[in-house]
Amino acid sequence: MSAAIRSRSAPRLVIGLVAAALTLTTVGAGTTASAVPGARDRSVTVTEREFSLTLSTTGFKPGTYTFTIHNAGTAPHGLTIKGPGVDSTSSIVPAGKTTKLSVTLKKGTYDLWCPVDNHRAMGMMTKISVK
């Protein structure tokens, strides 16, 4: 009799486990950064070349941003960000290469520039406002 009970409950157990797995898979698949209410992709591409610095966006709100620094020039470049609570510098990027720098921005004004040699004085700088 005990074998009969096991054989009847085993299919129910399997069905229950499969249903739970499907539920978890569905929930997990839908829980991406873009699906979470209020979450945003806070990525900014910074294109650097002799002697300019161009950002892919100009509108900033408080939060954590990842700046992807792409060196489209022929000389090495990098990125420094300085403002309220932030004083960060990326690694120096050879021509044609990319690096990333993540910072948390608060409300205020930030200076961004290339820290290599006199590149800042030659125009590789900009300001952003976080509102």
pLDDT tens digits for 58-114?
Answer: 999 999 999 999 999 999 999 999 999 999 999 999 999 999 999 999 999 999 999
CA distance 116 to 122: 11
Which pLDDT score is estimated for 12? 55
Q: Any idea of the CA torsion for 110, 103, 44, 42, to the nearest 10 degrees?
A: -120
* Residue, of 9 and 76, whose pLDDT is higher: 76
CA distance 110 to 58: 12
- Are 74 and 51 within 8 A, CB to CB? no
Position 46 pLDDT exceeds 80: yes
Position 7 pLDDT exceeds 80: no
Taking the complete model, does pTM exceed 0.95, yes or no? no
CA distance 64 to 42: 7
* Residue, of 57 and 29, whose pLDDT is higher: 57
Q: Which residues contact 52 (CB under 8 A, 6 or more apart)?
A: 123, 124
Token digits of residue 67:
């700046």
Please, which pLDDT band fits residue 55 given cuts at 50, 70 and 90?
very high
